[in-house]
Amino acid sequence: MRDKVNQLLSLGLGMAVLSKEQVEKAVNRLVEKGNLTKAESTQLIDELLEKGEQSKQELNQALKDRINEILSEMNVATKDEIKALELRIQQLEERLNP
């Protein structure tokens, strides 16, 4: 039984894209086949949802990091840099037009 749980947990990224209902359906099929008890299914659902959320957060962070890397390589200005330039322009305009 634990092997099946570990197999499902190793699908963390796949679980990240599944809804709670889809996870519950998959686990309920295991209960129907006799691979899990009802008590084990509740724990498994919680574990899978937690693992899925964790995988989703890790994937989001990895994507953000990669996007920032690419933008940096392309020499694209960030929002903060643009805001700083806008503020500087505003300050210079105020000096020119008192």
Q: Is pTM, for the whole model, over 0.75?
A: no
pLDDT in tens, 27-55: 888 889 888 888 888 888 888 888 888 88
pLDDT in tens, 67-82: 888 878 888 888 899 9
Alpha-helical segments (H) within 33-78: 38-73
CB 31 within 8 A of CB 37: yes
Sign of CA dihedral 54, 56, 58, 64: negative
